[in-house]
Amino acid sequence: MSRNLDNAFWSAARKHLIRYGGAFEPAIIERAEGSFVYDADSRRILDFTSGQMSALLGHGHPRIVATVRRQVETVAHLFSGMLSRPVVELAERLAALAPGLDRALLLSTGAESNEAAIRMAKLVTGKHEIVAFSKSWHGMTGVAAAATYSAGRKGYGPAAVGSIAIPTPNSFRPRFKKADGSLDWAAELDDAFALVDSQSTGSLAAFIAEPILSSGGMLELPPGYLAALKQKCRERSMLLILDEAQTGVGRTGDMFAFQRDGITPDILTLSKTIGAGLPLAAVMTTAEIEETAHERGFLFYTTHVSDPLPAAVGLTVLDVVEEEHLVERARHLGDKLFDGLSGLKQRYECIGDVRGRGLMLGVEIVKSGLGREPDHELGAKIAAEAFRRGLSMNIVKLPGMGGVFRIAPPLTISEQELDLGLRTISDAIEAVLSTGAGRVGMAAE
């Protein structure tokens, strides 16, 4: 009998854990190494989503392990008013990577960094309205949750006053179309801000956006969109906050995703990738904004602000990314993975779209027919079959999004491991379709 069927383990889990999302995976994970996690049967499972989109360098990277051991023996945590060398060094390194964003605040989680960014934007502008995308995910706390529209809004009472959403541009399902049927994002953005202006009470503080909306279905903002969005903000004296929790630190083939578009946000938030699986987040902004915030009494005093242990880990992450040329590697392997997934799209009619950048790609599962409607059921079955075959892929199960696989393997993954993942996806689709689980057949070759 499989050790994953440990009745005592699952009974204790059911009895004592608060469930915080969907169902747990049907395996007990005992350890992780490189691009794989290993269950109670010592079966290896290829991790195509880097843990919770965070293990940028894979699991148990020896440099990270060595840093944790060294730093925890030196100093791991301090009174929040004390500074250590890793904190100042990491702030300096980050500033060099994002010219113009010269000041940094080091925190623990993505939601926390977005809380701080929005709090700062409100204080600096003296206004309170926050605009976000309709498919956004910025966290599960306070104003971060108020700016999250992809899920979790019902049943919790009023969101923060001044929360406004605009439609998310979707090239696969465009709302505004050009004559050739492609997305007319400029017209959509104009329309969206006309709606913002009609709802605003004259207190627009900031727009917060993900360059690629991950939980929203791996929806990438088209080239040119961020520059136009920043201009819309400038016209209204709003700040632009970019949430690069998942896209930052090389994931998309640039150090930060916004760099492709030749703009710099007013405030940048980082998490997930900067800690490579450990709890580290950052808020970055201009010297001018930080000075104004400080003069007005900016307060974000938390237990783990400026902790030396995660800061030391962040420095090691940046070292490894630079020394192993992982930004360029993400671009190269991302092209290979995109081509492989696009080949599967040509073979299987149930793959409606492949999208994204670098090693952050989405694969949308759809029903057959002209409507190409999302197929939640088929996507879930493919995910389950892939997991059974030794591949973990995170699938967006939010209403209205359909089965969108979020594929974001570690930047250290090998080409052979990428090929293994592609074969497993293909085998899983074949197996599910052959059982008649879906109504989708093979596309014409």
Q: How many CA atoms lie within 13 A of 274 on its CB side?
A: 32
Say yes or no to pLDDT of 202 above 90.
yes
User: Is 272 one of the annotated active-site residues of the chain?
Assistant: yes
32-46, 310-324, 431-445 — which is least confidently predicted? 431-445
Residue 108 CA to residue 270 CA, distance in Å, equals: 10
Residue 399 — pLDDT band, cuts 50, 70, 90? low
Residue 440 — pLDDT band, cuts 50, 70, 90? very low
Say yes or no to pLDDT of 402 above 90.
no
Of all helices (H) and strands (E), which one includes residue 310? Answer: helix 308-323
Residue 437 — pLDDT band, cuts 50, 70, 90? very low
Residue reference for tokens 């843990």: 51
Pairing of strands 239-243, 267-270: parallel
Residue 274 CA to residue 116 CA, distance in Å, equals: 17
User: Is 210 one of the annotated active-site residues of the chain?
Assistant: yes
The DSSP result for 356-392, as a single string, is EETTEEEEEEB-SSTT--B-HHHHHHHHHHHHHTTEE
Say yes or no to pLDDT of 445 above 50.
no
**Tens of pLDDT, residues 65-79:** 999 999 999 999 999
**Tens of pLDDT, residues 224-257:** 999 999 999 999 999 999 999 999 999 999 999 9
The answer to whether 387 touches 32, Cβ cutoff 8 Å, is no
The answer to whether 271 touches 313, Cβ cutoff 8 Å, is no
φ/ψ (deg, to 5) at 334? -65, -40
User: Is 335 one of the annotated active-site residues of the chain?
Assistant: no
Residue 244 DSSP SS3: coil
Q: Which amino acid is located at 144 in the chain?
A: A
φ/ψ (deg, to 5) at 242? -110, 125
184-198, 251-265, 397-411 — which is least confidently predicted? 397-411
| Closest C-alpha among 368, 264, 278 to residue 317 | 278
* Active-site residue, selected from the candidate residues 137, 367, 375, 381: 137
Say yes or no to pLDDT of 441 above 50.
no
User: Is 406 one of the annotated active-site residues of the chain?
Assistant: yes
* Active-site residue, selected from the candidate residues 184, 210, 307, 375: 210
| Closest C-alpha among 75, 73, 107, 78 to residue 90 | 107
Average pLDDT over residues 170-192: 97
* Active-site residue, selected from the candidate residues 188, 220, 243, 261: 243
The answer to whether 418 touches 409, Cβ cutoff 8 Å, is yes
* Active-site residue, selected from the candidate residues 246, 353, 357, 381: 246
Q: Quote the strand ranges of 394-445, DSSP E.
A: 394-396, 403-407
CB-based contacts of 22, cutoff 8 Å, min separation 6: 397
Average pLDDT over the chain, rounded to an integer: 95
pLDDT > 90 fraction of the chain, expressed in percent and rounded: 92
Ranges of H-type helices in 17-109: 50-53, 62-74, 85-97
Residue 442 — pLDDT band, cuts 50, 70, 90? very low
Cα 257–chain centre separation: 11
Average pLDDT over residues 364-368: 92
User: Is 31 one of the annotated active-site residues of the chain?
Assistant: no
Residue 209 CA to residue 118 CA, distance in Å, equals: 12
Residue 194 to residues 160, 166, 175, 236, 239, Cα–Cα distance (Å): 22, 10, 16, 12, 18
**Tens of pLDDT, residues 288-331:** 999 999 999 999 999 999 999 999 999 999 999 999 999 999 99
pLDDT > 70 fraction of the chain, expressed in percent and rounded: 97
Longest dimension (CA), the chain: 66
Sheet holding 163-166, edge to edge: 103-107, 281-285, 267-270, 239-243, 204-209, 129-133, 163-166
pLDDT of residue 443: 34
pLDDT of residue 293: 98
Residue 41 CA to residue 373 CA, distance in Å, equals: 38
Ranges of H-type helices in 222-263: 225-235
* Active-site residue, selected from the candidate residues 230, 367, 381, 406: 406
Sheet holding 44-47, edge to edge: 29-33, 36-39, 44-47, 391-392
| Closest C-alpha among 280, 299, 225, 229 to residue 93 | 280
Opening angle at CA 333, ends 328 and 338, nearest 5: 125
User: Is 243 one of the annotated active-site residues of the chain?
Assistant: yes
pLDDT of residue 400: 54
**Tens of pLDDT, residues 250-286:** 999 999 999 999 999 999 999 999 999 999 999 999 9
Average pLDDT over residues 111-134: 98
Ranges of H-type helices in 166-278: 185-199, 225-235
* Active-site residue, selected from the candidate residues 103, 272, 329, 357: 272
Average pLDDT over residues 134-155: 96
pLDDT of residue 438: 41
pLDDT of residue 23: 87
Residue 11 — pLDDT band, cuts 50, 70, 90? very high
Residue 104 CA to residue 66 CA, distance in Å, equals: 25
pLDDT of residue 444: 27
